[in-house]
Amino acid sequence: MASMQEIRTRINSVKDTMKITNAMYLISSSKLRKARSGHDSVSPYFAALKSTIWDIINRTSGAASIEDGLFEDRADNSEINRCFIVISSDKGLAGAYNHNVFKMVEQKLAEKDEKTSDQSNIILVGHMGIPYFRKINGAVIDEEHIYPAADPVMYRAWEISENVIRRFLDREFDEVYIAYTEMVNSLVFEPKIIRILPLMKAMFEDAEPLEGDLREPEFSPSPEEVLRHIVPNYVKGIIYGAMVESYACEQSARMTAMDNATTNAREMIDELSLIYNRVRQAAITQEITEIVSGAQSAH
């Protein structure tokens, strides 16, 4: 059995760890509130943007026939090149948060037909994905475009969207997907993969109808040009929303992990304190026995 000094050292070590896990819990709680606040402040804009796009498509015959640009479906190509924007975290200690989204992307990479290219481009948001996808067959990490996941900002989403849109229009990519973690509630998260390019008209059917004047709108110079101008902003909104929601899920997952770690540390301290008291009591009993034996032998 360990000595009292060893048990005391172990108890102090666990107490120091518990202070760290409790501090990380509080930090993640603060970051979670900040992330939700940022998302809530911009979501009405992108909701209105989605409604505007659907209004243009639905109310104008010219825009309804658009099949080029970001709406161009290239399913008939001889080879389909795919790109995955994978949103994870920059560090661990967040339970299964990273693992779940990585496994879903790996499964998606394995789902391909004779037209799908053997290699898929991976654009990473979060550095935890680098060692994982370097070991996955068929995944080619875009080393020049690796973005941090911490503190998502609109400029970062704009940079990513400009990158994938340019490469899609240049036919370097035929399909672009984004993999992120969706928050069902404060305790339940689900990894999710959605296609963001090429866009489909069905993506906008659930948009809220625009309020206000119901007169037939006029588009200058044309509905197609208006659509081409605002659609990239919608793509940016999808990416930014996924980044913020994933970041919120990361902080919530880390809060849960750190809360569990703190609880386990308290239980461990209780167990070690009980063992320490038993060892201390045994040592006292042995000392008393030795004193009594010594006194008896003296007589």
Q: What CA–CA distance (Å, rounded) separates 126 from 132?
A: 12
Q: What is the mean pLDDT of residues 60-72?
A: 59
Q: Do domains 4-22+258-293 and 25-253 have the same CATH topology?
A: no
Q: Over range 12-18, report the average pLDDT.
A: 89
pLDDT given at position 122 = 94
Average pLDDT of span 269-298? 80
Measured CA to CA in angstroms, residue 64 lies from 192, 224, 256 at distances of 29, 9, 47
Exposed / middle / buried, residue 26 (Cβ in 10 Å: 0-12, 13-18, 19+): exposed
Tens of pLDDT, residues 87-98: 999 888 888 889
Mean pLDDT value across the chain = 82
- Say what the pLDDT of residue 60 is: 58
Q: How far is CA 237 from CA 1, 39, 124, 159, 224, in A?
A: 60, 10, 18, 12, 20
Q: Which residue has the higher pLDDT, 58 or 234?
A: 234
Domain boundaries, the chain: 4-22+258-293, 25-253
Assess whether pLDDT exceeds 50 at residue 63. Answer: no
Nearest-angstrom CA–CA distance, 232 and 227: 9
pLDDT at 298: 64
Q: 3-state class of 185 per DSSP?
A: coil
Task: Give residue 123's pLDDT band: very low, low, confident or very high (50, 70, 90).
Answer: very high
pLDDT at 137: 85
How far apart CA 173 and CA 140 sit, in angstroms, is 13
- Name the CATH superfamily housing domain 4-22+258-293: ATP synthase, gamma subunit, helix hairpin domain (1.10.287.80)
Half-sphere exposure of 159 (CA within 13 A, CB side): 14
9/293 Cα distance (integer angstroms): 32
Mean pLDDT value across residues 255-273:
88
Q: What CATH number belongs to 25-253?
A: 3.40.1380.10
